[in-house]
Amino acid sequence: MKYLLFVLLIMFASLFKAQAKVCELPESLNGITFLFNISTVYSPSNTMAGMLLESTFSDKTYTIEVLDTGEAFTGSYDYQRFLPKFARFNVREGTGANLALYSKTLVCKTNRMGFVIFSLRQGPEQVTAPHDIGTYVIKSVQ
Amino acid sequence: MDHCYDYFMGGEFLKVLLLSGMMLFSLLAKCIAQECQLPISLVGKSLLLRVYGLPSQSNPYADNIIEMFFKEKSYLSKVLKTGEIIGGEYKYHRYERDLAEISVEEVKEGVRAHYTETFVCQTDISGYYIFSTFQGRVKPEVRQNTGRYIFK
């Protein structure tokens, strides 16, 4: 009986260890500040390539600043975590002709960082980054 | 008279509401129609994955093209540069029209590997993917890389 308990304990511990390696994305973005680095190469059709963005989320709204240029935008978002390691937020920025709808799909590597795919659904004509890829870092959690 | 007026205005209001609802719906339908979509199933499909980045310990397949063939539950993947072939079982889940994930389990040389590939489409046949693994034969086990995918 003791042996059985011991074996079970070891099995449980190893299971726990195996699971601990898998990262998790936050359940909510409220109070979180992200850094996004767009890692694709610059081209006339992708003027955001290589840039660094900082984004801070509150309950339903967020602000995003392109650190390279100082441009800042605000908008509303909704966040959906499909799996602990895999989530997406949809964003609504601006109004009328300047309305931009896009989503960022996040897959974590560790609890602090991972990769992101940016995809624009609808946007003003001057937006020239319809589809992009990059890395993200969670800079701070309030 | 007042009641009649209210009733009439109420009807007008409903018509306007209906009309604007229809306009909104057609706008939405147009918006969705412009969006790309990922396939509902991968069965019978052939997928090319171009791995971005520079070759490094944490990105051993960088600068490679990997081709994957899918059957009902199993798949074969071939590293085109080396000819290396690995097979296993997969599950495909389309979370949204433009967002899907395959979850893969493969066993090679007695070691079980588990990884996921998350796809976001740009057109109906191509887009970006994120590869992510936490367990496998290739070290380090916690690895991530990205690239372009194309359905052949």
Measured between CB atoms, does A120 come within 8 Å of chain B?
Answer: no
Is residue A40 classed as helix, strand or coil in its secondary structure?
coil
Contact A114 B132 (CB under 8 A): yes
State yes or no: pLDDT of B6 exceeds 80: no
A83 contacts A93 by C-beta, under 8 angstroms: no
Contacts of A132 in chain B (CB under 8 A): 128
B130 and B76, same domain (yes or no): yes
pLDDT at A35: 97
pLDDT reading at A116 higher than 70: yes
Mean per-residue pLDDT for B77-94? 94
Residues B79 and B138 grouped into a single domain: yes
ipTM: 0.76
Neighbours of A43 (CB within 10 A): 9
Q: Is residue B40 part of a domain?
A: no
Inter-chain contacts counted by CB atoms under 8 A, chains A and B: 72
| A54 pLDDT above the threshold of 50 | yes
Q: Which residues span the domain enclosing B2?
A: 1-34
Bigger pLDDT: A46 vs A69:
A69
- Residues with Cβ within 8 Å of A129's Cβ and at least 6 positions away in sequence, in order, are A38, A46, A47, A48, A49, A118, A120
- Residues in A closer than 8 angstroms to B35, CB to CB, are 121
User: pLDDT-derived band of residue B30, with 50, 70 and 90 as boundaries?
Assistant: very low
Whether B22 maps to a domain, the answer reads yes
Residue B20, pLDDT score: 64
- The total domain count for chain B is 2
Q: Which residues have a Cβ under 8 Å from the Cβ of A108 and sit 6 or more positions away? A: A23, A24, A25, A85, A86, A114, B132
Query: Does residue B39 sit within a domain?
Result: no
Cβ of B146 within 8 Å of Cβ of A105? The answer is: no
Mean pLDDT over A59-70 rounds to 93
Residue B69 has a pLDDT of 97
Report residue A6's pLDDT band, with 50, 70 and 90 as the boundaries: low
Please give the Cα distance from A53 to A136 (Å, whole number). 9
**Average pLDDT, stretch B138-147?**
89
Shortest Cα distance from B99 to chain A (angstroms)? 8
Angle, alpha carbons A139-A15-A13 (nearest 5°): 100
Are B59 and B29 members of one domain?
no
Contact B39, B56 (CB under 8 A): no
Select the CATH number that applies to the domain covering A22-141 from these four: 2.40.128, 3.40.50, 1.10.8, 3.30.1490: 2.40.128
